Amino acid sequence: MADSFELVIIGGGPGGYNCAIRAGQLGMKVACVEMGPTLGGTCLNVGCIPSKALLHSSEMFEAAGSHMAGLGIKTKGVELDLPTMMAAKDETVDGLTKGIAFLFKKNKVTHITGRGKITGAGTVEVTDNDGATTTLSAKHIVIATGSEVTPCPGVEIDEKRIVSSTGALALTQVPKSMVVIGAGVIGLELGSVWRRLGAKVSVVEFLPRILPGADGELAKQATRIFKKQGFEFHLSTKVTAVKKQKSSLKLILEPAAGGEPTTMETDIVLVAIGRKPVTANLGLAAAGVTLDARGFIETDHWKTKAANIWAIGDCTTGPMLAHKAEEEAVACAETIAGGPGHVNYGVIPGVVYTAPEIAWVGQTEEELTAAGIPFKKGSFPFAANSRARANHQTDGFVKVLAHAKTDEVLGVHMLGAQVSEMIGAAALAMEFRAASEDIARTCHAHPTLSEALRQAAMGIEGWTMQM
């Protein structure tokens, strides 16, 4: 007899675990099948959390070594202890993945370890590490299998010298030099970690700019700042091959539009050209689940084309972000339970955890212009914000975009210290469909960095008060 559940979820990342917990809270009998040794998926094990742990400690290291002197704090003999830095990161990951296991128990979610596959209507077969199989029966199945690294043609990842983000989170020594392929989020975040710890970091990007999804003005200013920090950018360039030599790696580069090849030598290559959905060996085609042209599972309000089979998170279209997966997880569980699940895809913030940080929510200037939406713009530099001046962190600005006629906030874009923590207020305002005047007339504490958001909103009607 198969173990029987109301809901079986395949994948225990932010999509899967949040869906399982919410379904448990709603009283469903739910199982979550995860093939990895721990819960938490990419995010907790090899993504958001370990990268943010290393970003934090490497920022502290760089501050202790150079920035603190300007604040009158003399440091002597600051040394890197990489094994301890890595151990601190691992301890965080371990604690958080165990936290999910605790939440599963608390919400009566059955955690099943093994590889799940849909083998028939309402049937999931689970194969454990020893090859033993169990069959689960389920009224509903949610696919939350996430994403994996997109390979770069001509570049073979070995996770030692040619690494993906996973290898870059676990290097055992600081390389003298690192070439990052792709100036996206991973390239800039993990490039920042190793640059701060002492590597010479060069970034090769196919497009003529960094961070293709971000507002152009934001990306332009960020590029200038990253160059000052020591990043070297090779834009409009592609890598056609990486050859392993005895003590170095040789990259063959070409202009993106074609042309004469050039070469470059480095110790470590980090491949960060995007991620692709995990959909193989899941029995999807036989079950009637369809994929779009880019290989993502097609859904309509998280429902696939097959009855009672749902899909959420990175394996479906939309931004590949943990909080997007989490939103879909909750909405999907609530819909299965008969409720009105809802995700506001227009208000999903994006953050790049570099220093300064980059954060945005809503539409960019380029998107509004392309859509022919009339908008007004207000912006405010952190150089004119008293808290940023007190902290000696004056790089960057906040920009608010609002509809020219209705004044509804359509996008907020930020570059600066701690803007990852400020973007939530902008998202909240947009969720409530605030006008820029609502932000401009909300009392903000002084002196805070968030006053820059208010001042940028005041700029829409031209009453920003410069220092």
Q: Which residues are catalytic?
A: 446
The binding track of 292-321 with respect to ligand FAD, each residue x by CB under 6 A or -, is ---------------------xx-----xx
Beta bridge partners of 291: 297
For ligand NAD, which stretch binds (CB under 6 A), given 70-78, 180-188, 214-222, 390-398?
180-188
**Taking CB under 6 A as the rule, does residue 41 contact ligand FAD?**
yes
Residue 274 binds ligand NAD (CB under 6 A)? yes
Is 353 near ligand NAD (CB under 6 A)? Answer: yes
Q: Find which of ligand NAD, ligand FAD, none residue 115 binds, CB within 5 to 8 Å per kind.
A: ligand FAD
- Which two tokens mark 311? 């899909």
Which amino acid makes up residue 245? Q
In the list 22, 89, 100, 115, the residue contacting ligand FAD (rule: CB under 6 A) is 115
Quick one: what does residue 22 bind among ligand FAD, ligand NAD, none, with the CB cut-off 5 to 8 Å set by partner type?
none
13 vs 122, beta carbon nearer ligand FAD: 13
Q: Does 415 bind ligand NAD (CB under 6 A)?
A: no
144 close to 329: Cβ distance less than 8 angstroms: yes
Q: How many CA atoms lie within 13 A of 105 on its CB side?
A: 4
Q: Does 321 bind ligand NAD (CB under 6 A)?
A: yes
Number of residues near ligand NAD (by CB under 6 A): 26
Question: Nearest approach, Cβ of 74 to ligand NAD (angstroms)?
Answer: 34
Q: Which position's Cβ is nearest ligand NAD?
A: 184
Q: Of residues 28, 33, 211, 273, which one binds ligand FAD by CB under 6 A?
A: 33
- Please list the residues that pair with 203 across neighbouring strands: 180, 233
- The Cα–Cα gap between 12 and 30 comes to 12
Q: Which helix (H) or strand (E) holds 113?
A: strand 109-113
282 near ligand FAD (CB under 6 A)? yes
Residues found in the chain = 467
Instruction: Work out how close the CB of 338 gets to ligand NAD at its nearest, in angstroms, rounded to a whole number.
Output: 32
Q: Does 182 bind ligand NAD (CB under 6 A)?
A: yes
The listed partner (ligand NAD, ligand FAD, none) that binds 278, CB under 5 to 8 Å by sort, is ligand FAD
Asked if 147 interacts with ligand FAD (CB under 6 A), we say yes
What does R_g of the chain's alpha carbons equal in angstroms? Answer: 24
CB-CB contact of 413 with 222 (8 Å): no
Return the one option of ligand FAD, ligand NAD, none that residue 362 interacts with (CB less than 5 to 8 A, by type).
none
From candidates 3, 6, 25, 35, binder to ligand FAD by CB under 6 A: 35
Instruction: Tell me which of ligand FAD, ligand NAD, none is bound by residue 233, counting a contact when its beta carbon lies within the kind-specific cut-off of 5 to 8 angstroms.
Output: none
Q: How far is the CB of 21 from ligand FAD (least distance, A)?
A: 13
- Residue 189 binds ligand NAD (CB under 6 A): yes
Tokens of 328: 């879909």
Q: Are 362 and 368 in contact (CB under 8 A)?
A: no
Distance CA 449, CA 391 (A): 10
Residue 362 amino acid letter? G
Q: Which does 187 bind (CB under 5 to 8 A by kind): ligand NAD, ligand FAD, none?
A: ligand NAD
**Quick one: which of 462, 438, 467 has its CA closest to 452?**
467
Burial (Cβ within 10 Å: 0-12, 13-18, ≥19) of residue 43: buried
Structure tokens at 459: 């700029």
Alpha-carbon span 226 to 218, nearest angstrom: 12
Binders in 323-342 for ligand FAD, by CB under 6 A: 323, 325
Interface with ligand FAD (CB under 6 A), residue from 20, 21, 34, 61: 34
Residue 43 is a binding residue for ligand NAD (CB under 6 A) = no
For residue 281, the tally of other CB atoms under 10 A from its CB is 11
Work out which of 65, 121, 206, 461 binds ligand NAD, going by CB under 6 A.
206
Q: Which of 120, 126, 138 is nearest to 34 (CA)?
A: 126
Contacts made by residues 460-463, CB under 8 angstroms, sequence distance 24+: 460/376, 460/377, 460/378, 460/400, 460/402, 460/407, 460/436, 461/378, 461/436, 461/437
Q: How far is the CB of 203 from ligand NAD (least distance, A)?
A: 9
The span from the CA of 232 to the CA of 200, in Å, is 8
We find the least distance from the C-beta atom of residue 48 to ligand NAD, in angstroms, to be 7
SS3 63: helix
How wide is the angle at C-alpha 277 spanned by C-alphas 273 and 281, nearest 5°? 130
Task: By CB under 6 A, name the one of 14, 24, 116, 187 that touches ligand NAD.
Answer: 187
Q: Is the peptide bond before 356 cis (omega within 30 degrees of 0)?
A: yes
Assign 124 to helix, strand or coil. Answer: strand
Q: Which does 178 bind (CB under 5 to 8 A by kind): ligand FAD, ligand NAD, none?
A: none
Q: How many other C-beta atoms can be found within 10 angstroms of the C-beta atom of residue 66?
A: 12
Using CB under 6 A, which of 3, 25, 29, 36 touches ligand FAD?
36
Residues that bind ligand FAD (CB under 6 A): 10-16, 33-36, 41-43, 47-48, 51, 115-116, 144-147, 165, 186, 278, 282, 313-314, 320-323, 325
Residues in contact with ligand NAD by CB under 6 A are: 152, 181-187, 189, 204-207, 212, 238-239, 272-275, 319-321, 351-353
